A and B are shown apart, each in its own frame.
Chain A
Amino acid sequence: QVQLVQSGAEVKKPGASVKVSCKASGYTFTSYDINWVRQVSGQGLEWMGGMNPNGDSTGYAQRLQGRVTMTRNTSITTAYMELTSLRSEDTAVYYCTRGFRSDYWGQGTLVTVSS
């Protein structure tokens, strides 16, 4: 069965960076986009960006441009999202999702930014 398993919760100080991983299994990893979506507690969903199946093209939300980088390692079927220059407003649950439709979601990774 298709699974996306994300890395564990992180606590970071303002200005630091965080890298969240998303281990995919149960399907051909190189056949689907991986997207990243975040959700601040009690609020809605925000699309952060995505990477194409080949891993050679990424698109990021403009408000995160310059701070976010999405990569993948096909040999271990894992995608990564790195966010730099963290601010308190980056405190959120981060999700990876599969494909154009986001038909499967990871369980979420809570990133807390606090001094």
Chain B
Amino acid sequence: ELQLLESGGGLVQPGGSLRLSCAASGFTFSSYDISWVRQAPGRGLEWVSGVSGSGASTYYADSVKGRFTISRDKSKKTVYLQMNSLRAEDTAVYYCAKLDGSWGYLYFDYWGRGTPVTVSS
């Protein structure tokens, strides 16, 4: 069964750092892009960052560029999101999602249940 399990969320002060993890199972890890998508309380979905299956390509939303770093570890089948210089507006539930599709047209086909991040003093 395909699974994505996020962890690492919590309460952090403004300006602080946090590293989220997404542990994957049930599929060929290196063959698929993975993204992080967040949802602020009572709000919609916002794509945050993505990494290609090989890890060679990474992508970021403008709102997190320069502060967040995405990476993946093939041996651990885990994708990470290192979040630095956190702001109150980064408060959200963070989901990891697997992508599928072809010819560069990729959509999210499986999602984890999310890990909450609260940035507050």
A and B bound? no
